Amino acid sequence: MTDFNDLPAHVWPRNAVRQEDGVVTIAGVPLPEIAEEYGTPVFVVDEDDFRSRCQDMARAFGGPENVHYASKAFLTRTIARWVDEEGLSLDVASLNELKIAQAADFPAGRITAHGNNKGADFLRACVQAGVGHVVLDSEQELVLLDCIAAAEQRVQQVMIRVKPGIEAHTHEAIATSHEDQKFGFSLASGSAFRAAEAAVRAPNLELVGLHCHVGSQVFDATGFTMAADRVLALYSRIHRELGVQLPELDLGGGYGIAYTEDEEALDVDEVAHDLLTAVAKTAAELGIDAPTVLVEPGRAIAGPGTVTVYEVGTVKDVTVDEGVTRRYLSVDGGMSDNIRPALYDSRYDARVVSRFTEAPGIPSRLVGSHCESGDILVRDAQFPSDIETGDLMAMAATGAYAYAMSSRYNAFGRPPVIAVRAGKTKLMLRRETVEDILALEA
């Protein structure tokens, strides 16, 4: 039975605490104070939570440089600096993500460039910046990058993205011949080997490893190890036929987090242990050196440490079929600041953070303020019946893919993002205003 005053530790930021007066603080800063100063909605990022998850990953995977933070989850200059300070590497998937990293003086050698359609501008910028790795996604790109590197008189280290025919989601992993997606070269058809061969022969490319990605919101090592097994067989063939030992193996992202009380986060240490053990064992069986395993968590680092604070507006009881009532709680944000519930049917944990709630739960729905009936943040909840207009509610685990995918639907300005640490707040991103929107007008 849910106690609405709890803050489940596996879902909420590590430094989230409900005080004796019922107010929730993060890193010692009361959320109502942040709402008062910066308005609502507002994203609040627990800096130590973010950094501690970088450290957890670094420890589990044998060193911070083996952990590539995936920018797409959430990137700002400040975030890039935190990632740098923690010694992690950084994945970028567009020219602008690279530029933001550069604006933060992120060491280019620890940057890896991704994407199915990078384009000459992006590739040239990568080579000129001296990014550590470019992950090649097509034959065209391989040829183009080799030309660009030649023109820049560089040798660019590259990886090849392969499709291992494994799909992992939550606790299930399946081996499949299904390769119907835009990313990568097929292992099964031999095109991955041919790409590796071409990369090895390309005068201005240096192949250092293969890359694969098995899914998202994965909770155990099975899918990763199944993929590693398949990809390592190609390492063995490359060794045998091309005489090259590839030093690195990038197993991508997908490390799951708990969005709701009934979910459990992936155990990073356990998965890392299982995965590294399996890779070492398979490599030994194949008679090759075990490559260094690289991983690319985004959500697992950025997700859990951030909450979105909303103010409750309209409270409305709606009679649904057969005399059942549902309470609609409207808040002052919605699908513009978090499209995931609408896009992926994602579930979230939301709680009142400005005071204790005392009443029992009733069937409720948390909705946004957009002019669209699908603008739903939490579809089926049992919220306390004493929630009122003016209460502050926070939605947990909104650090990844919420701000990053945010829109200006209904001309809503993006909320500000506030970092908190040791009792202090720091503005990371200011609120967008109508002036920002009008600034694009000719």
- Residues 326, 321: Cα–Cα separation, whole Å: 10
Q: Which of 21, 287, 373, 423 binds its own copies (CB under 8 A)?
A: 373
Which residue, among 268, 234, 239, 240, has the nearest Cα to 254 in the 3D structure? Answer: 268
**Closest distance to its own copies from the beta carbon of 339 (Å):** 7
Q: Which of 15, 89, 112, 138 binds its own copies (CB under 8 A)?
A: 138
SS3 for 423? coil
Reading the block at residue 385, the tokens are 């019946």
Contacts of 432 (CB under 8 A, 6+ apart): 408, 413, 414
Nearer to its own copies, 284 or 427 (CB): 427
Asked if 432 is part of the footprint of its own copies (rule: CB under 8 A), the reply reads: yes
* Near its own copies in 280-339, by CB under 8 A: 313-316, 318-321, 326, 328, 330-332, 339
DSSP 117: S
371 carries an active-site annotation: yes
User: Burial, 181: exposed, middle or buried (Cβ in 10 Å; 0-12, 13-18, 19+)?
Assistant: exposed
Nearer to its own copies, 103 or 359 (CB): 103
The answer to whether the annotation marks 423 as part of a ligand binding site is: no
The answer to whether the annotation marks 130 as part of a ligand binding site is: no
Nearer to its own copies, 20 or 435 (CB): 435
The answer to whether the annotation marks 358 as part of a ligand binding site is: no
The answer to whether the annotation marks 372 as part of a ligand binding site is: yes
Nearer to its own copies, 408 or 424 (CB): 408
* Near its own copies in 159-218, by CB under 8 A: 177-183, 186, 188-189
Beta strand pairing call for 215-218 and 166-170: parallel
Asked if 382 is part of the footprint of its own copies (rule: CB under 8 A), the reply reads: no
Which residue, among 48, 49, 47, 54, has the nearest Cα to 70 in the 3D structure? Answer: 54
How many residues touch its own copies (CB under 8 A)?
Answer: 86
The answer to whether the annotation marks 296 as part of a ligand binding site is: yes
- Residues 428, 180: Cα–Cα separation, whole Å: 39
**Closest distance to its own copies from the beta carbon of 378 (Å):** 13
Q: Which of 151, 280, 359, 437 binds its own copies (CB under 8 A)?
A: 437
Nearer to its own copies, 136 or 288 (CB): 136
Nearer to its own copies, 61 or 403 (CB): 403
Count of all residues that appear for the chain in the document: 442
What's the Cα-to-Cα distance from 246 to each of 184, 210, 227, 283, 434, rounded to whole Å?
Answer: 18, 8, 16, 12, 52
**Closest distance to its own copies from the beta carbon of 133 (Å):** 15
Which residue, among 251, 155, 262, 165, has the nearest Cα to 212 in the 3D structure? Answer: 251
Q: DSSP letter string over 291-345?
A: PEEEB--SHHHHSTTEEEEEEEEEEEEEE-GGG-EEEEEEES--TTT--HHHHH-
- x-marked contacts with its own copies along 333-372 as a string, rule CB under 8 A: ------x--xx---------------------x-xxxxxx
Which residue, among 113, 125, 124, 117, has the nearest Cα to 141 in the 3D structure? Answer: 117
* Near its own copies in 99-128, by CB under 8 A: 99-100, 103, 114-119
**Cβ atoms of 328 and 314 closer than 8 Å:** yes
**Closest distance to its own copies from the beta carbon of 279 (Å):** 24
Residues labelled as active-site residues? 371
Feature table: binding site for pyridoxal 5'-phosphate? 254, 296-299, 401
Feature table: binding site for substrate? 299, 340, 344, 372, 401
Feature table: binding site? 254, 296-299, 340, 344, 372, 401
